[in-house]
Amino acid sequence: MRRILAAILPGLLLANCAGPAADQPVTIDFALKSGTEDVTCTRPLPGLNKKATLTDARLYLHSVSLIDPAGRTVPVALTPSSWQRDGIVLLDFENAAGTCRGNPATNTAITGTVPAGRYTGLNFVIGVPAPLNHTSTNTEATPLDLVAMGWSWQAGRKFIKIEVDPEGGITRKTGKPGISWNLHLGSTGCAGDPVKGETITCTSPNRVPVTLPVFDTNRQHVVIDLARLFDGTDLGRDGGGALGCMSGADDPDCPAIFLQLGLSPVATLPPALRIEPKG
């Protein structure tokens, strides 16, 4: 018995000293492009069906995870910052320069840690989870405190806020010209009063799940392509209601946008997103 213990004890001691495998850092980079060119706030957007300039480009993500070679999803533990908390990330591509009207600070990456290992894919959801979506920007901490990313419908958030100014303005059915074509994606058809503590239900949650089965965080980044996003949309005309697409089920300017976002029909990789090598 003593010989057996003497043989296995050193191995047990080594195992205990080694402890659990350390986490490894991960950075998931994003880029905003129009066709093959990077989008900036200081020159017109290339590749659109109408000459236009960018004024705002921000979006929320949540439920970020990597996929291992066996197909298992492993959540990314986000590094707390003014851009990330409670599993939510705000990406901000505008810098308040040129034609942009946001703020100077930008964020184009998700940072966090995962258990040490090899990962070959990526999952995330565009949007804000329902329990945190219908809250006040006055009481939430960053990045959910931005008034510019909130809207009045059940105190919800704009999941995606992309605004452009087409050259020559926008022709409206009312005859009154418009200036900015707005894409504000968020939950619609919502009922319930969050101020009274009521549960909010929405007929159109409009969160966009994204799955990239093959993705290398070290060598690739996720591209949001505005030329593809606005493919099929006439930025010089508005079909009715508020300017642009405000996510309403009956908004005539939303079907083409929803198609490119993979909302209708539902797609694991929205046509407006793609993967490219870094650099």
Give the per-residue pLDDT at 154. 74
Q: Is it the case that residue 18 has pLDDT exceeding 70?
A: no
Residue with tokens 């040129």: 98
In a domain, 16, yes or no: no
C-alpha 146/C-alpha 132 separation (Å) is: 13
3-state secondary structure of 29: strand
pLDDT of residue 240: 87
What average pLDDT score do residues 132-144 get? Answer: 92
Average pLDDT score over residue span 140-158: 90
Counting the structural domains of the chain, the total is: 1
The answer to whether position 6 is within a domain reads: no
The shares of helix, strand and coil residues in the chain, as percent rounded to the nearest 5, are 15, 35, 50
221 assigned to some structural domain: yes
What is the radius of gyration, based on Cα positions, of the chain?
Answer: 22
Average pLDDT over residues 189-198: 85
Mean pLDDT of 152-171: 92
| Reported confidence tier of residue 185, pLDDT bands at 50, 70, 90 | very high
Whether the CB-CB separation of 263 and 205 falls below 8 Å is answered with no
The string of DSSP letters for 75-128 reads E-EEPPBTTEETTEEEEE---SSTT--S-S--B-EEEEEEESS---EEEEEES-
Q: Is residue 1 part of a domain?
A: no
Domain that holds residue 64: 25-277
Angstrom distance (rounded) from CA 202 to CA 60? 18
Q: Is pLDDT of 232 > 70? A: yes
pLDDT of 220 over the 90 cut: yes
- The pLDDT value recorded for residue 20 is 56
Q: Is residue 11 part of a domain?
A: no
**For 31-85, how does the pLDDT look when each residue is reduced to its tens digit (9 = 90+)?**
999 999 999 999 999 999 899 999 999 999 999 999 999 999 999 999 999 999 9
Residue 17 lies in a domain: no
Closest CA to 154 of 176, 172, 132, 125: 132
Quote the CA–CA distance of 77 and 126 in Å, as a whole number: 17
The label of the residue with tokens 């690739």 reads 220
Q: How many residues does the chain have?
A: 279
What is the rounded average pLDDT for all residues in the chain? 90
pTM for the predicted model, two decimal places: 0.91
Burial 96-134 (b: 16+ CB within 10 A, else e): eeebbebeeebbebbbbebeeeebbbbbbbbbbebebbb
Residue 4 lies in a domain: no
Q: Which of 195-199, 203-207, 246-250 is predicted with the least confidence, judged by mean pLDDT?
A: 195-199
- pLDDT at 268 > cutoff 50: yes
- Domain membership of residue 259 (yes or no) is yes
10 pLDDT higher than 70? no
Amino acid identity at 55: T
pLDDT value of residue 31? 98
What pLDDT is recorded for position 2? 40
Residue 6 has pLDDT above 50, yes or no: no
Residue 226 to residue 39: CA distance in whole angstroms: 9
